[in-house]
Amino acid sequence: MAAASSPDEVSRGTAATSGAERPVDSAMATVVAEDVSKVFFPGAEPVWALEDFSLTLEPGSFTCIVGPSGCGKSTFLRIVGGLEERTVGTLEVTGAQHAIPSAFVFQEHGVFPWMTVRENITFGLRMMGVSRAERDRVAEDWLRRVRLHDFARSYPHQLSGGMRQRVAIARAFATGSPLLLMDEPLGALDAQTRMLMQEELVSLWEQERKTVLMVTHDIDEALILGDRVIVMTPRPGKLKEDIEVPFPRPRSIGVESTPEFTRLRTHIWESLREDALAGGSATKEATA
Protein backbone atom coordinates (compact mmCIF):
# COMPACT_ATOMS: atom_id res chain seq x y z
CA MET A 1 0.00 0.00 0.00
CA ALA A 2 1.36 3.38 -0.96
CA ALA A 3 2.18 5.89 1.73
CA ALA A 4 -0.29 8.77 2.15
CA SER A 5 0.58 12.27 3.19
CA SER A 6 -1.55 13.76 5.98
CA PRO A 7 -3.53 16.94 5.27
CA ASP A 8 -3.20 20.01 7.48
CA GLU A 9 -4.73 19.66 10.88
CA VAL A 10 -7.84 21.52 11.98
CA SER A 11 -8.04 22.84 15.54
CA ARG A 12 -10.65 21.36 17.83
CA GLY A 13 -13.52 23.27 19.35
CA THR A 14 -14.22 23.51 23.03
CA ALA A 15 -16.98 21.68 24.85
CA ALA A 16 -19.69 23.01 27.10
CA THR A 17 -20.21 21.33 30.46
CA SER A 18 -23.20 19.64 32.03
CA GLY A 19 -23.85 18.37 35.53
CA ALA A 20 -26.11 15.51 34.43
CA GLU A 21 -25.26 12.15 35.96
CA ARG A 22 -26.51 8.62 35.29
CA PRO A 23 -26.11 5.24 36.95
CA VAL A 24 -23.26 3.23 35.43
CA ASP A 25 -23.55 -0.51 34.85
CA SER A 26 -20.32 -2.47 34.59
CA ALA A 27 -21.82 -4.35 31.62
CA MET A 28 -22.14 -1.13 29.63
CA ALA A 29 -19.66 -0.35 26.90
CA THR A 30 -16.97 2.29 27.01
CA VAL A 31 -15.43 3.35 23.70
CA VAL A 32 -12.06 5.10 23.51
CA ALA A 33 -10.79 6.12 20.07
CA GLU A 34 -7.40 7.84 19.87
CA ASP A 35 -6.08 9.53 16.72
CA VAL A 36 -8.02 7.23 14.41
CA SER A 37 -7.36 7.77 10.71
CA LYS A 38 -8.81 5.97 7.72
CA VAL A 39 -7.39 6.09 4.21
CA PHE A 40 -9.07 4.61 1.13
CA PHE A 41 -7.27 3.92 -2.12
CA PRO A 42 -9.98 4.08 -4.81
CA GLY A 43 -7.37 4.88 -7.45
CA ALA A 44 -3.84 6.15 -7.73
CA GLU A 45 -4.33 8.81 -5.06
CA PRO A 46 -5.27 8.11 -1.43
CA VAL A 47 -8.48 9.53 0.02
CA TRP A 48 -8.43 10.45 3.70
CA ALA A 49 -11.86 9.77 5.19
CA LEU A 50 -10.77 10.39 8.81
CA GLU A 51 -7.66 11.93 10.31
CA ASP A 52 -6.57 11.93 13.94
CA PHE A 53 -10.14 11.53 15.16
CA SER A 54 -10.41 10.99 18.91
CA LEU A 55 -13.59 10.35 20.89
CA THR A 56 -14.52 8.75 24.20
CA LEU A 57 -18.00 7.37 24.87
CA GLU A 58 -18.89 6.95 28.53
CA PRO A 59 -20.93 3.93 29.65
CA GLY A 60 -24.64 4.43 29.09
CA SER A 61 -24.21 7.69 27.17
CA PHE A 62 -26.11 8.78 24.05
CA THR A 63 -23.80 10.57 21.61
CA CYS A 64 -24.85 12.04 18.26
CA ILE A 65 -22.52 12.93 15.38
CA VAL A 66 -23.30 15.60 12.76
CA GLY A 67 -21.10 16.91 10.00
CA PRO A 68 -20.86 17.63 6.27
CA SER A 69 -21.72 14.89 3.81
CA GLY A 70 -18.74 12.62 3.21
CA CYS A 71 -16.84 13.70 6.33
CA GLY A 72 -16.37 10.15 7.62
CA LYS A 73 -19.18 9.89 10.19
CA SER A 74 -20.47 6.56 8.93
CA THR A 75 -16.92 5.33 8.37
CA PHE A 76 -16.12 5.97 12.03
CA LEU A 77 -19.32 4.20 13.09
CA ARG A 78 -18.32 1.16 11.04
CA ILE A 79 -14.82 1.20 12.52
CA VAL A 80 -16.25 1.20 16.05
CA GLY A 81 -18.53 -1.69 15.12
CA GLY A 82 -15.75 -3.73 13.54
CA LEU A 83 -17.13 -3.52 10.00
CA GLU A 84 -14.22 -1.40 8.80
CA GLU A 85 -10.52 -1.45 9.68
CA ARG A 86 -8.82 1.75 10.79
CA THR A 87 -5.60 2.70 9.01
CA VAL A 88 -3.85 4.10 12.07
CA GLY A 89 -4.78 4.99 15.63
CA THR A 90 -6.16 2.98 18.53
CA LEU A 91 -9.67 1.88 19.40
CA GLU A 92 -10.71 0.17 22.62
CA VAL A 93 -14.18 -1.03 23.53
CA THR A 94 -14.37 -2.17 27.15
CA GLY A 95 -17.17 -3.54 29.30
CA ALA A 96 -18.66 -5.23 26.25
CA GLN A 97 -18.10 -8.89 27.10
CA HIS A 98 -20.98 -10.12 24.99
CA ALA A 99 -21.47 -12.54 22.11
CA ILE A 100 -22.54 -9.57 19.97
CA PRO A 101 -20.53 -6.60 21.35
CA SER A 102 -22.36 -4.04 19.19
CA ALA A 103 -25.63 -3.89 17.29
CA PHE A 104 -26.37 -1.71 14.24
CA VAL A 105 -29.50 0.13 13.16
CA PHE A 106 -29.34 1.57 9.64
CA GLN A 107 -31.51 4.10 7.83
CA GLU A 108 -33.29 1.50 5.71
CA HIS A 109 -33.05 -2.09 4.52
CA GLY A 110 -32.22 -3.03 8.10
CA VAL A 111 -34.76 -5.83 8.45
CA PHE A 112 -34.84 -9.09 6.54
CA PRO A 113 -37.79 -9.09 4.10
CA TRP A 114 -38.17 -12.88 4.18
CA MET A 115 -38.55 -12.97 7.98
CA THR A 116 -41.58 -12.11 10.07
CA VAL A 117 -41.45 -9.36 12.68
CA ARG A 118 -40.90 -11.95 15.41
CA GLU A 119 -38.15 -13.68 13.46
CA ASN A 120 -36.40 -10.39 12.75
CA ILE A 121 -36.43 -9.37 16.40
CA THR A 122 -34.96 -12.69 17.54
CA PHE A 123 -32.48 -13.12 14.68
CA GLY A 124 -29.44 -12.05 16.72
CA LEU A 125 -30.45 -14.30 19.60
CA ARG A 126 -30.74 -17.26 17.24
CA MET A 127 -27.24 -16.55 15.89
CA MET A 128 -26.01 -16.56 19.50
CA GLY A 129 -27.50 -20.00 20.10
CA VAL A 130 -30.11 -18.80 22.58
CA SER A 131 -32.76 -21.42 23.34
CA ARG A 132 -36.14 -21.30 21.62
CA ALA A 133 -37.91 -20.74 24.93
CA GLU A 134 -35.72 -17.76 25.79
CA ARG A 135 -36.07 -16.33 22.27
CA ASP A 136 -39.84 -16.56 22.59
CA ARG A 137 -39.74 -14.80 25.95
CA VAL A 138 -37.58 -11.97 24.60
CA ALA A 139 -39.74 -11.67 21.49
CA GLU A 140 -42.91 -11.30 23.55
CA ASP A 141 -41.25 -8.64 25.69
CA TRP A 142 -40.03 -6.57 22.75
CA LEU A 143 -43.18 -6.98 20.67
CA ARG A 144 -45.03 -5.47 23.60
CA ARG A 145 -42.51 -2.68 24.18
CA VAL A 146 -42.53 -1.49 20.57
CA ARG A 147 -46.30 -2.05 20.22
CA LEU A 148 -46.05 -4.62 17.44
CA HIS A 149 -47.61 -7.63 19.14
CA ASP A 150 -50.49 -7.72 16.67
CA PHE A 151 -47.97 -7.79 13.80
CA ALA A 152 -45.72 -10.58 15.09
CA ARG A 153 -46.42 -12.77 12.04
CA SER A 154 -46.34 -9.93 9.51
CA TYR A 155 -43.56 -9.40 6.99
CA PRO A 156 -41.71 -6.09 6.50
CA HIS A 157 -43.52 -5.28 3.23
CA GLN A 158 -46.78 -5.32 5.19
CA LEU A 159 -45.55 -2.65 7.62
CA SER A 160 -45.18 1.12 7.45
CA GLY A 161 -41.71 2.68 7.45
CA GLY A 162 -41.99 3.61 11.11
CA MET A 163 -43.05 0.10 12.06
CA ARG A 164 -40.11 -1.41 10.16
CA GLN A 165 -37.72 0.85 12.05
CA ARG A 166 -39.31 -0.17 15.34
CA VAL A 167 -38.55 -3.77 14.36
CA ALA A 168 -34.92 -2.86 13.60
CA ILE A 169 -34.53 -0.97 16.87
CA ALA A 170 -36.18 -3.76 18.87
CA ARG A 171 -33.83 -6.31 17.26
CA ALA A 172 -30.80 -4.22 18.22
CA PHE A 173 -31.93 -3.89 21.83
CA ALA A 174 -33.06 -7.53 22.04
CA THR A 175 -29.56 -8.88 21.40
CA GLY A 176 -28.47 -7.44 24.73
CA SER A 177 -25.48 -5.80 23.04
CA PRO A 178 -24.07 -3.08 25.32
CA LEU A 179 -23.20 -0.80 22.37
CA LEU A 180 -25.77 0.42 19.82
CA LEU A 181 -24.51 2.02 16.61
CA MET A 182 -27.14 3.91 14.63
CA ASP A 183 -26.58 5.34 11.15
CA GLU A 184 -29.39 7.83 10.46
CA PRO A 185 -31.97 5.32 11.74
CA LEU A 186 -34.88 7.76 11.38
CA GLY A 187 -33.70 9.57 8.26
CA ALA A 188 -36.13 7.93 5.83
CA LEU A 189 -39.26 8.65 7.88
CA ASP A 190 -41.77 11.45 7.40
CA ALA A 191 -41.66 14.32 9.91
CA GLN A 192 -44.54 13.17 12.12
CA THR A 193 -43.40 9.55 12.27
CA ARG A 194 -39.87 10.71 12.94
CA MET A 195 -40.93 12.76 15.97
CA LEU A 196 -42.86 9.81 17.39
CA MET A 197 -39.91 7.49 16.79
CA GLN A 198 -37.56 9.91 18.55
CA GLU A 199 -39.78 9.71 21.63
CA GLU A 200 -39.89 5.91 21.44
CA LEU A 201 -36.15 5.59 20.96
CA VAL A 202 -35.40 7.80 23.95
CA SER A 203 -37.90 5.90 26.08
CA LEU A 204 -36.30 2.54 25.23
CA TRP A 205 -32.79 3.90 25.79
CA GLU A 206 -33.75 5.35 29.18
CA GLN A 207 -35.03 1.91 30.20
CA GLU A 208 -31.99 0.01 28.91
CA ARG A 209 -29.15 2.56 29.24
CA LYS A 210 -27.05 1.14 26.44
CA THR A 211 -24.11 3.14 25.13
CA VAL A 212 -25.37 4.71 21.88
CA LEU A 213 -23.44 6.33 19.04
CA MET A 214 -25.76 7.79 16.43
CA VAL A 215 -25.10 9.53 13.12
CA THR A 216 -27.82 11.99 12.12
CA HIS A 217 -28.25 14.73 9.52
CA ASP A 218 -30.76 16.57 11.72
CA ILE A 219 -29.42 19.11 14.24
CA ASP A 220 -32.71 19.21 16.18
CA GLU A 221 -32.70 15.42 16.44
CA ALA A 222 -29.15 15.43 17.79
CA LEU A 223 -30.08 17.96 20.48
CA ILE A 224 -33.31 16.15 21.39
CA LEU A 225 -31.73 12.70 21.69
CA GLY A 226 -28.10 13.19 22.63
CA ASP A 227 -26.12 13.82 25.78
CA ARG A 228 -23.42 15.18 23.46
CA VAL A 229 -23.29 16.41 19.90
CA ILE A 230 -20.04 15.80 18.04
CA VAL A 231 -19.51 18.20 15.14
CA MET A 232 -17.07 17.00 12.48
CA THR A 233 -15.08 18.90 9.89
CA PRO A 234 -15.33 18.22 6.15
CA ARG A 235 -13.20 15.35 4.86
CA PRO A 236 -10.85 14.31 6.23
CA GLY A 237 -13.14 14.13 9.23
CA LYS A 238 -11.79 15.53 12.47
CA LEU A 239 -13.40 16.59 15.70
CA LYS A 240 -14.44 20.22 15.33
CA GLU A 241 -16.61 20.58 18.45
CA ASP A 242 -17.75 18.38 21.31
CA ILE A 243 -20.91 19.94 22.75
CA GLU A 244 -22.58 18.62 25.88
CA VAL A 245 -26.34 19.03 25.71
CA PRO A 246 -27.50 20.82 28.89
CA PHE A 247 -31.16 19.75 28.93
CA PRO A 248 -32.10 17.39 31.79
CA ARG A 249 -33.76 14.04 31.24
CA PRO A 250 -36.49 13.15 30.69
CA ARG A 251 -36.62 15.90 28.08
CA SER A 252 -39.84 17.91 27.91
CA ILE A 253 -41.78 18.01 24.65
CA GLY A 254 -41.32 21.77 24.37
CA VAL A 255 -37.53 21.77 24.77
CA GLU A 256 -37.13 22.80 21.09
CA SER A 257 -38.81 26.13 21.79
CA THR A 258 -36.45 27.16 24.60
CA PRO A 259 -33.89 29.94 24.03
CA GLU A 260 -30.98 27.60 24.86
CA PHE A 261 -32.12 25.04 22.30
CA THR A 262 -32.38 27.77 19.68
CA ARG A 263 -28.93 29.05 20.60
CA LEU A 264 -27.33 25.61 20.29
CA ARG A 265 -29.14 24.84 17.04
CA THR A 266 -27.97 28.13 15.54
CA HIS A 267 -24.43 27.63 16.79
CA ILE A 268 -24.14 24.14 15.28
CA TRP A 269 -25.71 25.20 12.00
CA GLU A 270 -23.41 28.22 11.67
CA SER A 271 -20.43 25.94 12.30
CA LEU A 272 -21.57 23.58 9.53
CA ARG A 273 -22.53 26.44 7.23
CA GLU A 274 -19.08 27.95 7.66
CA ASP A 275 -17.53 24.73 6.39
CA ALA A 276 -20.03 24.48 3.54
CA LEU A 277 -19.22 28.00 2.33
CA ALA A 278 -15.53 27.19 2.60
CA GLY A 279 -15.94 24.26 0.25
CA GLY A 280 -17.69 21.53 2.28
CA SER A 281 -20.93 19.94 1.17
CA ALA A 282 -23.30 20.52 4.07
CA THR A 283 -26.84 21.78 3.56
CA LYS A 284 -29.14 23.17 6.21
CA GLU A 285 -31.32 20.04 6.20
CA ALA A 286 -28.72 17.41 5.39
CA THR A 287 -25.79 18.16 7.62
CA ALA A 288 -24.39 14.66 7.89
pLDDT in tens, 178-189: 999 999 998 888
Q: Is residue 92 part of a domain?
A: yes
For position 141, what pLDDT does the model report?
Answer: 95
CATH code, domain carrying 64 = 3.40.50.300
pLDDT surpasses 50 at 155: yes
In this prediction, residue 252 has a pLDDT band, given cuts at 50, 70 and 90, of: confident
Q: Is residue 116 part of a domain?
A: no
Percent helix, strand, coil in the chain (nearest 5)?
35, 20, 45
The domain total for the chain is 1
Mean pLDDT of the chain: 85
Q: What is the extent of the structural domain holding 232?
A: 24-98+181-188+207-258+276-288
Which carries the bigger pLDDT value, residue 27 or residue 250?
250
For position 98, what pLDDT does the model report?
Answer: 60
Query: By the 8 A CB rule, do 37 and 50 touch?
Result: yes
For position 282, what pLDDT does the model report?
Answer: 40
Query: Global pTM?
Result: 0.84
Q: pLDDT per residue over 82-126, tens digit each?
A: 999 999 999 998 875 665 678 999 887 689 999 999 999 999 999
Give the CB-side neighbour count of residue 117, counting CA atoms within 13 A: 25
In this prediction, residue 23 has a pLDDT band, given cuts at 50, 70 and 90, of: very low
Q: pLDDT per residue over 31-76, tens digit each?
A: 999 999 999 988 888 999 999 999 999 999 999 999 998 899 999 9
Instruction: Residue 242: name the closest of 9, 17, 7, 8 by CA.
Output: 17
For position 97, what pLDDT does the model report?
Answer: 63
pLDDT surpasses 70 at 4: no
In this prediction, residue 275 has a pLDDT band, given cuts at 50, 70 and 90, of: confident
Secondary structure (DSSP) of 47-81: EEEEEEEEEEE-TT-EEEEE-STTSSHHHHHHHHT
**DSSP reduced 3-state for 101:** coil
For position 11, what pLDDT does the model report?
Answer: 32
* Overall size of the chain counted in residues: 288
Q: Is residue 230 part of a domain?
A: yes
